[in-house]
Amino acid sequence: TTSPKPSKQEWLHSQKLHSCSSDSNLPSQHRELQSTGVPRDCTAAISQSVRIAVFSMHAVILAAGYGTRLTRDLQEDTTGEWEHIKNCPKPLLPLGNKPLITRWVLMLRDLEDIDKICVITNDKFYQQFVTWKAELADEYLERKIILYNDFSTCNEDRLGAVTDLQQAIQILPSSCNVLVIAGDTMFRQDFSLEGFLERMKDLQVEEKTASLICHTECSEEAVRKHGIVELEQNNRVQRFLEKPDPKTTTSRFQSPCFYILSEAAQQLITTFLEIHEESNIEAKDATGKFVKFLVERLPVFSYKVSGRFDLGNLTSYCEANTYFSP
């Protein structure tokens, strides 16, 4: 039988209990100091130095979108070939023999640098993600994954990706960095997540406030559909342009929603949302607009990837599914 759905207040309370800082969330070095009787005020200072020395982060997978373009394509399809994915959120779409989101969490599973994985979704698809998590049949991953319901119910009352990101960060235990992954994006199989993390570690040795995004080639006709980055020689982002006219930039590098945000960058999310408090949802629904805001205030660098799949419509989904099929 299905358990009764909790109210929003009950659910949020349970999430805060699940993710709040406790001794079990502290670095092992900190727990050992407490077990030997070192006063808490001393261990707090030592723990801070441990966090600086140890590269730590959580991952947030943005999965609260409603896939309106893909839904429209599926409704118009008359072949019947895609009936099995109707009403399926994009992160749960099968790519070959695994859902897209499963491919990401399996990559994240055994990385020592990654503590928690927060999947933020909406009320419409929340139960599908609950089922997905249970079907992983992996106790370690189940403990690592936090499912967060933003309680929006349709595309018209969505909160926007930047607001969702802020909410996810707020319920996670304290961490230095956050890896942000769009739930409808996947890279080619030559992508090295370890290489991406190593690049961020190198950057933060020199500049603790630095963040890292990524870029890949973009065709001329697709420039106005994506966030475009203009880079300096060391791949520091000089400008981030959200869906520009191709005539306004010579860059042909698009930037997918796949970032590592430093602690300083995360603090700017609140500032960005306060500035756009009275703006329409479009101002808060594209993470690229926050990245543009960030580039103008803190150092942001970019990491090149060979290619990406964006499951925005049925054509792009078919391309990705074919690529990952045996």
Q: Count of residues for the chain?
A: 326
What is the mean predicted confidence (pLDDT) over 4-28?
48
pLDDT, position 5: 54
Amino acid 308: pLDDT: 95
Query: Does residue 177 have a pLDDT over 90?
Result: yes
| Confidence at 149, pLDDT banded by 50, 70, 90 | very high
Closest to 140 in 3D by CA, of 172, 92, 105, 183 = 105
pLDDT category of residue 216 using cuts at 50, 70 and 90 = very high
Output the average pLDDT for the chain. 87
The share of the chain scoring above pLDDT 90, in percent, equals 78
**pLDDT number for residue 234:** 93
pLDDT above 90: residue 15: no
Determine the pLDDT at residue 56.
Answer: 83
From the number of C-beta atoms within 10 Å of its C-beta (0-12, 13-18, 19+), residue 260 rates as buried
Residue 55 pLDDT: 72
Quick one: what percent of the chain has pLDDT higher than 70? Answer: 83
Give me the residues paired with residue 179 across strands.
59, 260
Distances (CA, A) of 244 to 220, 249, 271, 286: 11, 8, 24, 14
The pLDDT of residue 12 is above 80: no
- For residues 106 and 77, the answer to whether their CB atoms sit within 8 Å is no
Q: Residue 164 and residue 147: Cα distance in Å, rounded?
A: 12
**pLDDT band per the 50, 70, 90 thresholds, residue 200:** very high
Q: Token match 């309370």: residue?
A: 13
Question: What's the pLDDT band for 36 if we cut at 50, 70, 90?
Answer: very low
- The residue-averaged pLDDT of 61-88 equals 95
67, 58 Cβ separation under 8 angstroms: no
Model confidence pLDDT, tens digit, residues 264-305: 999 999 999 999 999 999 888 889 999 999 999 999 999 999
- What pLDDT score does 282 carry? 86
pLDDT at 33 exceeding the cut of 70: no
End-to-end CA distance of the chain: 37
